[in-house]
Amino acid sequence: MSHEELLARHRAVLPNWVALYYDAPIEIVSASGRRVTDGDGRTYLDFFAGILTNALGYDVAEVADAIRSQLSTGVMHTSTLYLIRKQVELAERIASLSGIPNAKVFLTNSGTEANEAALMMATQLRRSNEVLALRNSYHGRAFATVGITGNRSWSASSLSPVKVSYVHGGYRYRSPFRSLSDADYIAACVDDLRNIIETTTAGEVACMIAEPIQGVGGFATPPDGFFGAMKTVLDEYGVLFISDEVQTGWGRTGEHYWGIQAHDVVPDAMTFAKGLGNGLAIGGLVGKPELVDAFTANSISTFGGNPIASSGALAVLDFIRDHDLQAQAAKLGSVLFDGLRSVADQYSVVGEVRGKGLMIGVELVQPGTREASARAASLVLEATKQRGLLIGKGGLYGNVLRLAPPMTLTEEETDEALGTLRESIAAAHEELSR
Max Cα-Cα span within the chain: 65
Cβ closer to ligand PMP: 213 or 425? 213
Does 243 help bind ligand PMP (rule: CB under 6 A)?
no
Comparing C-alpha atoms, which of 198, 133, 192, 194 is closest to residue 160? 133
Of 135-143, 288-296, 315-323, 388-396, which part binds ligand PMP (CB under 6 A)?
A: 135-143
Cβ closer to ligand PMP: 111 or 367? 111
| Smallest separation, CB 47 to ligand PMP (Å) | 17
Cβ closer to ligand PMP: 277 or 367? 277
Report the distance separating Cα 390 and Cα 405, nearest Å: 9
Name which of residues 105 to 134 contact ligand PMP (CB under 6 A).
110-112, 115
Comparing C-alpha atoms, which of 20, 31, 23, 27 is closest to residue 6? 27
| Smallest separation, CB 197 to ligand PMP (Å) | 23
The DSSP bridge partners found for residue 43 are 37
Backbone angles phi, psi at 285, to 5 degrees: -140, 150
| Smallest separation, CB 281 to ligand PMP (Å) | 8
| DSSP-H helix ranges across 178-306 | 182-200, 226-236, 289-292
Cβ closer to ligand PMP: 70 or 145? 145
| Smallest separation, CB 214 to ligand PMP (Å) | 7
Does 208 help bind ligand PMP (rule: CB under 6 A)?
no
**What strand order describes the sheet that includes 389-390?**
28-32, 35-38, 43-46, 389-390
Does 273 help bind ligand PMP (rule: CB under 6 A)?
yes
By CB under 6 A, the count of residues binding ligand PMP is 16
Quick one: which of 247, 253, 301, 306 contacts ligand PMP (CB under 6 A)? 247
CB atoms within 10 A of CB 93: 17
Does 221 help bind ligand PMP (rule: CB under 6 A)?
no
Q: Which residue is nearest to ligand PMP (CB)?
A: 111
Number of helical H runs and strand E runs in the chain:
13, 15
| Smallest separation, CB 246 to ligand PMP (Å) | 4
Report the distance separating Cα 26 and Cα 386, nearest Å: 12
The DSSP bridge partners found for residue 295 are none
Cβ closer to ligand PMP: 367 or 394? 394
Of 180-188, 211-219, 224-232, 298-306, which part binds ligand PMP (CB under 6 A)?
A: 211-219
- DSSP letters of 312-381? HHHHHHHHHHHTTHHHHHHHHHHHHHHHHHHHHHH-TTEEEEEEETTEEEEEEBSTTS--B-HHHHHHHH
Report the distance separating Cα 14 and Cα 204, nearest Å: 41
Report the distance separating Cα 300 and Cα 302, nearest Å: 6
Comparing C-alpha atoms, which of 258, 248, 299, 23 is closest to residue 137? 248
Quick one: which of 138, 226, 241, 347 contacts ligand PMP (CB under 6 A)? 138
Does 51 help bind ligand PMP (rule: CB under 6 A)?
yes
CA distances from 385 to 10, 360, 374, 388 (A): 21, 18, 17, 5
Cβ closer to ligand PMP: 70 or 115? 115
Does 7 help bind ligand PMP (rule: CB under 6 A)?
no
Report the distance separating Cα 27 and Cα 178, nearest Å: 40
Of 99-107, 208-216, 331-339, 387-395, which part binds ligand PMP (CB under 6 A)?
A: 208-216
| Smallest separation, CB 340 to ligand PMP (Å) | 21
Cα 352 to the center of its chain, rounded Å? 19
| Smallest separation, CB 115 to ligand PMP (Å) | 6
| Smallest separation, CB 53 to ligand PMP (Å) | 8
Quick one: which of 169, 215, 279, 312 contacts ligand PMP (CB under 6 A)? 215
Cβ closer to ligand PMP: 133 or 350? 133
Name which of residues 275 to 304 contact ligand PMP (CB under 6 A).
283
Does 139 help bind ligand PMP (rule: CB under 6 A)?
yes
CA distances from 169 to 133, 188, 212, 226, 230 (A): 10, 9, 10, 8, 10
The residue ranges that bind ligand PMP (CB under 6 A) are 51, 110-112, 115, 138-140, 211, 215-216, 244, 246-247, 273, 283
